[in-house]
Amino acid sequence: MRGSRAPQKTRYLCGLSFGPSSAVLLSMLHDNIEYLEQKGRGGIAYAVTVVHIDTTLNEAGRLAATALLEMYQARFPRLSFEHYALEDALQLGGVNWAALGVELPHKEGEELRQDRARRLRAALDALHSVSARMDILRLMVRHALVSRAVQSGCDAVLLGTNMTGLAELAFSEVAKGRGASVPWLTQDGMFPLPSFGSVVGQEEEIDGGQQGNITGRTSIPVYHLLRDVFRGEVLTFSGLAIPTPLTPLIPSLAENKQQQQMAKKTIVSHKNLSIEEVMARFFNDAETAGQASVVSNVVRTTDRLARLCENMSQMCEICGLPLDGEGDERWRGEIGVQEDEEETKGLCHGCHRSLTS
């Protein structure tokens, strides 16, 4: 038809952690695109941009991540890849960096990437425990992925978290006092992205907002495409993938084997483990012991949870999720907010614990 336009492609941003689940998800997406190309019936209706968030905060780690990303690009040529350093997240407005204790420059470019990495690393090192550091780091990675998707005009975010990982995430959030966030983090659906006042590179305050006050909010769909697949099934697939296994692309597999061998020889102490690591061991043992129904029941139960805070305007200044005032008070107790806690007043109980306990 004269004057007709080609249908616009749906754009997806897919997170890559270099773990087995994200590698398997990329393999499935790439195979689907390859099949559609070979079928030759019109254009492909979607495009996928793969983004890896580098959390090493040093040059050596950045180079290693870049080299591994090149291996992924060679294996999956029909996908486009991006490398995003976590310290670049300091330019985003989805986190109240002042509440995290990170000082920001007024304009973009006033500090080098090494300085941003140093500031962020110092803030993480100042946290009191391994669990707190892992918690804040995971939240920042999610913020970076969602923000990148919104900035690049993507229609949705695709994550490779499998059923076992979702069960671990649900229990971890409850254990950390962030139970109200479980439906937001484990279910498919819209995920909020608030903006807190001025950010790096922003010359003027939005609506006169100061850092810590929400000046805007957007949202984007997030989907966990492997939510019905157990971790054991993902690992099996990664070793049987065609044309070659995915195991060379997954450095964590070799690390896990070494850790398992060491664990057999030593007594494991939970003192130096994060809550996420404890939950991972629990659900891994349950799955391998033939109790996979325990894992699936957790995920199916979380799927039935309602997002009761969906219409609330107050958002946590770290995790960015709606605040549950009554729930946070029950978690924290009836002591109230102390004078030295005023600066963390806008946080949910889970983020408050990670920063102060």
pLDDT score of 210: 42
pLDDT score of 97: 85
Q: Who's near 273: CB < 8 A, 6+ residues apart?
A: 130
Instruction: Give 72-131 as a DSSP string.
Output: HHHH-TTSEEEEEEGGGGGG-SSS-HHHHT----SSTTSS-HHHHHHHHHHHHHTSSSHH
Residues 161/328/128/182 CA torsion (nearest 10 deg): 0
Mean pLDDT computed over 203-226: 63
Mean pLDDT computed over 272-294: 91
78 CB-contact burial (10 Å; exposed 0-12 / middle 13-18 / buried 19+): middle
Whether residue 314 is predicted with pLDDT greater than 90 in this model: the reply is no
CB 173 within 8 A of CB 181: yes
Its pTM stands at 0.85
- Return the closest-CA partner of residue 25 out of 15, 38, 37: 15
Measured between alpha carbons, how far is 68 from 261 in angstroms, rounded to an integer? 25
Place of tokens 């819209």: 190
Would you tell me the crossing angle of helices 163-175 and 231-240 to the nearest 10 degrees? 140
Place of tokens 């999610």: 142
Weakest mean pLDDT among 197-201, 274-278, 299-303, 348-352: 197-201
pLDDT score of 12: 98
Give kind and range of the element (H or E) at residue 259: helix 251-265
End-to-end CA distance of the chain: 65
pLDDT score of 200: 41
Q: Who's near 240: CB < 8 A, 6+ residues apart?
A: none
323 DSSP 8-state letter? P
pLDDT digits (tens, 9 = 90+) for 76-110: 999 999 999 998 888 887 788 888 888 765 555 54
pLDDT digits (tens, 9 = 90+) for 231-242: 999 999 999 988
Side chain identity at residue 24, one-letter code:
V
In degrees and rounded to multiples of 5, residue 259 shows phi and psi of -65, -40
Whether residue 189 is predicted with pLDDT greater than 60 in this model: the reply is yes
The three state secondary structure string of 67-80 is HHHHHHHHHCCCCE
Q: Who's near 135: CB < 8 A, 6+ residues apart?
A: 176, 274, 275, 276, 350, 354
pLDDT digits (tens, 9 = 90+) for 31-66: 999 999 888 766 788 999 999 999 999 889 999 999
Measured between alpha carbons, how far is 189 from 182 in angstroms, rounded to an integer? 13
Weakest mean pLDDT among 123-127, 188-192, 306-310: 306-310
Place of tokens 């004057």: 3
Task: Extract the runs of DSSP E, i.e. beta strands, from the chain.
Answer: 10-16, 46-54, 80-85, 156-159, 189-196, 214-224
pLDDT score of 101: 82
pLDDT digits (tens, 9 = 90+) for 124-161: 999 988 899 999 999 999 999 999 999 999 999 999 99
* Strand 156-159 versus strand 214-224 pairing type: parallel
Domains parsed from the chain with CATH numbers: 10-332+342-356 (3.40.50.620)
pLDDT score of 79: 96
pLDDT score of 100: 85
